[in-house]
Amino acid sequence: MQKHVFEAENILISSRTVIRRFKEQDGAPFFKLIQNNRERIEDRFPNFSHLSSNEEATAIIFQKLASWYSQESFSFAVWDNDSANIIGYIELNNIDWNIPKAEGILFIDREFEGQGIMTEVVSQILSFAFEQLKMKKLNMIVAADNYAAQRLARKCGFRREGDIRNELKKSGGELSDAMLLGYTDQDYFKV
């Protein structure tokens, strides 16, 4: 266990959102987010895209909370300040505390896409990762045809580190290529 992680914030604020660790009662709003975006997330979030009830969503949230407390991953719901609805999801997972490094995955509700909200959210997560978790590196593995996610990563300062063949499995079973993007603590503290 990393002792400094126990002091890490579980609520982050951007100008238009509250980014916070899930709470036990977030099952219903999280399920609604999944229902509204099922087709968009089925390839990257297969465990979410097959959820069929509030109870299943709540079970996922309890798993995410357990992973937070065991320092295996850090999952946040993104809440819109105006409507107080959940509009996105962001997670740091595949953590290797020996380096330390993590991989970031995220999505935003289709109605909020293209408004710069996730740029604000990623900025807060970078601060959380490098200042509070003391990460040395963050990676994003983005589908080769997911140009919006590639633009977001680059806009936030991630750099292309390479291509990975047959890295992601789509819902139909076919494999697809991906792009590896990285961001280091040197990049973060240089800014």
Domain around 133 = 7-139
pLDDT in the model for residue 172: 81
Domain-embedded: residue 161: no
Identify residue 33 by its one-letter amino acid code.
Answer: L
Domain-embedded: residue 179: no
Per-residue pLDDT reduced to its tens digit, 104-136: 999 999 999 999 999 999 999 999 999 999 999
- Once rounded to an integer, what is the mean pLDDT over residues 78-103? 97
What CATH number should be reported for the domain holding residue 49? 3.40.630.30
Domain-embedded: residue 171: no
What is the pTM assigned to this prediction? Answer: 0.94
Strands 17-21 and 11-13: antiparallel
In contact, 54 and 28? CB cutoff 8 Å: yes
Mapping DSSP to helix (H, G, I), strand (E, B) and coil, where does residue 150 land?
helix
Q: How many domains does the chain have?
A: 1
